[in-house]
Copies of this chain bind each other. A is one copy, B any other.
């Protein structure tokens, strides 16, 4: 495969974002943003660690990878703008499959008016995809994890555990209700870009995206804000047919599953009505799932009140991507 022909095939010929001065085609991309703050993040997805061709088409791999990164922008309250892609290509992938990955990214990109402005293609032993995303947020309006305060309402968007359920269905073939819904939640997760940016007028909001599981993300807010979060199990929102799975599966997926790319946030009680209004406006499901308290002597923790009304400390147990490295 010829690198230049490949780049020519995947590159955009026009850009939707007026801030782009130079996209693909030189040593680097150039953009201008004098009015707003710029938000940027990178994430890498490795074959057979973060995704598998057994459960996803190349299109889904690209779509989901860009969705995961764009979700980080939403978690900052930023509006997505553009992205860079660096791809490591092994011999086992052909040109059509690779183009499929870029088509998946372009599909999500079109939905959120994002442009591909540059990148890199190199060869290697395993396919990996590094995406750097850029978004804009009004000055001093980026939303941080450290903004939670005692008394806040804790909420999440959407329903949790669907991506993990979808992955289970794909890897354990059988009779399930609403397969297409769960497959889609796993392969083509939606992100809450509009909802997050429309909350801009709120004076205070802590925000995090649920990439590594509710327990883990709640814990990040608790630690960064030096508070404790209490979550009520029966309030954690799940999809209509989530009850078809065993109780232990439901619990594991909704608390620790992650990769739904929904948002968890905390706001002062007086802002909760505003959050619900913006949710209506942006057609986003929001659910109050708990509240913020002072952290106790033992530190900043997350507590779960289970269905039997027992309150217990919740372990993070989120999916951490770095497990196999020797010390």
Instruction: Report A's interface with B, CB cutoff 8 A.
Output: 1, 3, 6, 21-22, 25-35, 37-46, 49-50, 72-73, 75-76, 78, 84-89, 91, 93-95, 98, 117-126, 128, 130, 132-135, 137, 139, 142, 144-146, 207-209, 224, 320-327
Contacts and interface: CB of A to CB of B under 8 A. Distances in A.
14 contacts: A25-B224, A27-B76, A27-B145, A27-B207, A30-B37, A38-B38, A40-B118, A40-B132, A91-B324, A91-B326, A93-B325, A125-B126, A126-B126, A128-B128
A28 B320 contact: no
A111 B2 CA distance: 36
A50 B89 CA distance: 13
Contacts of A37: 21, 30-32
A35 B145 CA distance: 29
B42 A86 contact: yes
How many copies the complex holds: the figure is: 2
Nearest to A82: B40
A8 to B, nearest CB: 12
A52 to B, nearest CB: 13
Nearest to A69: B28
Given A21-B142, A31-B38, A40-B132, 16 more contacts: A27-B73, A28-B133, A29-B40, A30-B39, A30-B76, A41-B118, A42-B85, A43-B120, A84-B132, A86-B130, A91-B325, A91-B326, A123-B321, A123-B324, A124-B126, A126-B126
A84 B28 contact: no
Given A38-B32, A123-B324, A139-B32, A76 B44 contact: no
A130 B46 CA distance: 13
Contact of A122 (B41, B50, B94, B327): B50
Contacts of A124: 46, 49, 126, 128
Contact of A121 (B73, B137, B321): B321
Contact of A120 (B35, B39, B42, B142): B42
Question: What 6 pairs across the A-B complex have the smallest Cβ distances?
Answer: A28-B41, A130-B130, A27-B75, A1-B325, A46-B124, A3-B322
Contacts of A145: 26-27
Contact of A209 (B27, B45, B208, B209): B27
